[in-house]
Amino acid sequence: MALANHATTVFDSALFRDAFGTPAMREVFSDHSLIARYIEAEVALARAEARCGVIPAEAAEQIAARSNIDALDWEKLRHETDNVGYPILPLVHQLVEQCGEAGRYVHWGATTQDIMDTADVLRVRAGLEIIEADIAALRRTLVELATKHRDTPMAGRTHLQQALPVTFGYKAAIWLAMFDRHAERLPQLKPRVLVGELAGAAGTLASLGDKGLNVQEAFCMELGLGVPATTWHVARDGFAEVVNFLGLVTGSLGKIALDVMIMASTEFGEVYEPFVPGRGASSTMPQKRNPISSELMLAASKGVRQHAGLMLDAMVQDFERATGPWHAEWMAVPESFVLAAGALHQAQFALSGLIVDEARMRQNLAISKGLIVAEAVMMGLAPHTGRQQAHDVVYAACREVNEGGGTLAEALARDEEVTRHLDRAAIGRLTDPANYLGMAPQMVDRAVAASKRQAA
């Protein structure tokens, strides 16, 4: 079957859509799903109003029974939406026709933004369920990775220079702890974000008289949403919070991606993404094995970060109904969810099958010829000589290695100030990077235990 030629973005492209998103998340934010959520909100409104005695119960039953997304004229809906600027009035026109006599009560007392905001909350709720499950799966993968490599020594690096030995499990535990915090944040934001919107033209519920607050509460109950304390037509911190949460999630994924990409470089060669024939191949260099998943994760993190800023900017709205910032959310919210889901999917693929070259990690630890554990030697010598003198002695030995070659252990063994206090066996122990891991393995244990408790 030929590829469709009308796609214009990576989100609907037959070529790129599964690189930058997932089918499940695209469905949540599809046009069909959006219109279905609009209809769900309109039906909930009719039922709430019937319960409160605002419209006849029979009318609400008819609206619920006869509102049919499959019977919509989509081309007419598209054309009228383009003309009106919003899809609700065109949709209401068709629902009124579908519902016959009961159609007169469709959209009773509501305003366009009530339905659109509430539908978006319903989509956000569904999107968060996917994100929550993906984070849980990734945490399980990171627990396995951290546990397996608890004691796998490697060079720790600061400012892109070898600093002190760590373990790969320690690195994975740091990644895990980030996602444990994200898993903690997600349920905390739900009560603030998952609230309905029903307030009428200027947010005062004037069209529903003294039954306005009762209808609002019944409407939210119908949809399983929280009841807002006040109208939030122009108070957009809830949606801004959820997109910035996705910015945090993808920011963490971007950090992991950058670590993996650098460690996968030829000069490091410490980890590789799972091997799949042809994945990451170059059109001109047969030897290439590019870290594609990590590259996609990093790109997604940049995209969501831009949308997070856009959502903060869209919070600045005029008076009781905005003249444009609201529309920016229509771009930022769906794209952020799709990108976040895509990045989480790529992370799960890359990390669940990550190839860790322990031998290369040990080889890289030896590159500095023992200098990476100069601090260990200094601290081992300091009880005998005092810290400053130990520092000066080891500093001189390091310069000797840098200028004349050999290893730190060899240079130390030639220094009488050292051998007066340390024999060759002691020097060997102090210059072995595997003996200077600090509490890295214990931190892995603590992080893994905390993650498992949180998940239980």
336 tagged catalytic: no
Which of the residues 159, 252, 327, 368 is marked catalytic? 159
Which of the residues 32, 282, 327, 384 is marked catalytic? 282
Rounded to whole angstroms, the Cα distance separating 92 from 38 reads: 10
159 tagged catalytic: yes
Q: Which residues are annotated as catalytic?
A: 159, 282
